[in-house]
Structure 1
């Protein structure tokens, strides 16, 4: 195991758990006391590795890959892969992906992976607000793997409208809870400040009649399992020493 991966195991145990606990609704949990809020509105939770719940434990898969619940984390490629299913193919779309308990009637895809878990996994890739994110959908037909960039399945009804682009945002509410943990929105097609990932639109752009599903004839049946891979841009240093973000690596 490389030195980088050994170092990575440290935040895998402690840091993500703190994020996960803070991302949940603290109401009714005796570990959370409003009187203990710090100036940033965060709960200073202290917990050791033996107290980490099973759902937050990281399973090493080898070759720089890990599993967190249903999420496969590829550190080298800066990718997260999750199971998804088709939700809506006819109505106007406001989302490309939401949690299965979220606004499924307005979303092309759904997943049982909670946004808070995705946030933990993204932090393990050192994702920051503003990091560009791409999404690729894949499935297997007749033992042959097929894939397509998610925006290619989303038709745009208004001429002159720019293609769909996403960047990571993960907004926290004043009580420290992850906004997406409440709204359950992951990949929006409208401006949504609470979604885990942002679609690059002006704040006032809330029209819901711009995007529609545009699935090819070869697309799998609605009940067939699909995988969605989110790729996060790689920070690189410029000649001046400043960090910039390059395009994410495409899923294989």
Structure 2
């Protein structure tokens, strides 16, 4: 089968560089280009045209990506829904052993394009932007659906991941029509999500790979988990990433 075109993927990565420029020190050369260049050697062919990269399953035809995770905490104040297992695991529901850099490569290979357009449409008047808004190279290429899938007594359960947390004031889950693939940033350490492990943030975090556009996303003290709907700790869970409806 024909693998995704790497030069295009490299071009689509450019919004991250605009989003993440630091005054001093100058960022080191990012390693994501090397990972993209190495991807054809690392990709494993699976049935049905699917591919595997570092434990991540991707389908170039449907643009569906599957990430293996597990439940770490069921009840706690949160800033994240998913971090890499070496990340901020004291404030997340899920963890994963996969490399955030591999996930970034998988997203680029399946033609998602990072951006933050629409992230702050609910920001209160007069509140400063927590991070710049950057348009994706492809219209709506940053909009994704995030779903969690797990097994209970042999039966598949699935929910939008937004159902797993709530506003601590209203005790209601946020209204999210699509999550935003903001793509993290490049800083002096290289790819920031690889260094910090931050994958899905519930408040505005420019170093996370995905951000919520929900009202209140400028506050890091507003969000708590919804233990009533979260499976027991250590339960294996698959995060499914798919294109959002425009």
Normalised by the size of structure 1, how large is the TM-score? 0.68
Q: CA deviation at 1:142?
A: 2.5
Find the counterpart in structure 2 of residue 188 from structure 1.
201
Q: 1:134 aligns with which of 138, 141, 145?
A: 145
- Bigger drift between 128-137 and 114-123 goes to 128-137
Find the counterpart in structure 2 of residue 163 from structure 1.
175
SS in 2 for 1:63: helix
Find the counterpart in structure 1 of residue 97 from structure 2.
112
Q: 1:63 aligns with which of 48, 51, 69?
A: 48
Q: Is residue 11 of structure 2 the alignment partner of residue 11 of structure 1?
A: no
Q: Is the 8 A contact 1:170 1:179 kept in 2?
A: no
Q: CA deviation at 1:191?
A: 1.0
C-alpha separation in 2, matches of 1:11 and 1:210:
38
Which runs of no fewer than 5 residues in structure 2 stay unpaired? 14-25, 116-141
C-alpha separation in 1, matches of 2:205 and 2:43:
30
Q: Is residue 210 of structure 2 the alignment partner of residue 225 of structure 1?
A: no
Q: CA deviation at 1:44?
A: 9.6
Task: Calculate the aligned-residue CA RMSD, in Å.
Answer: 3.6
Q: CA deviation at 1:15?
A: 6.7
- The C-alpha deviation readout for 1:123-178, integer Å capped at 9, x for no partner, is 11111123112211111222222211111121222349852452111133255822
Q: Is the 8 A contact 2:54 2:99 kept in 1?
A: no
Q: Is the 8 A contact 1:191 1:203 kept in 2?
A: no
SS in 1 for 2:175: coil
- Bigger drift between 206-215 and 94-103 goes to 206-215
SS in 2 for 1:140: strand
Which runs of no fewer than 5 residues in structure 1 stay unpaired? 20-36, 234-245, 248-252
Structure 1 runs (4+) deviating above 3 angstroms are 40-47, 51-54, 159-162, 201-204
Q: Is the 8 A contact 1:83 1:225 kept in 2?
A: yes
Query: CA separation of 1:116/1:144 partners in 2, compared to 1, >3 Å: closer, same or farther?
Result: same
Query: CA separation of 1:11/1:202 partners in 2, compared to 1, >3 Å: closer, same or farther?
Result: same
Q: CA deviation at 1:201?
A: 6.0
Find the counterpart in structure 1 of residue 65 from structure 2.
80
Number of equivalenced pairs = 204
Bigger-Rg structure (1/2): 1
Q: Is the 8 A contact 1:132 1:232 kept in 2?
A: yes
The structure with higher relative contact order (CA 8 Å, sep 6+) is 2
Q: 1:144 aligns with which of 155, 167, 186?
A: 155
Find the counterpart in structure 1 of residue 85 from structure 2.
100
Query: CA separation of 1:58/1:45 partners in 2, compared to 1, >3 Å: closer, same or farther?
Result: closer
Q: Is the 8 A contact 2:82 2:200 kept in 1?
A: yes
SS in 1 for 2:163: helix
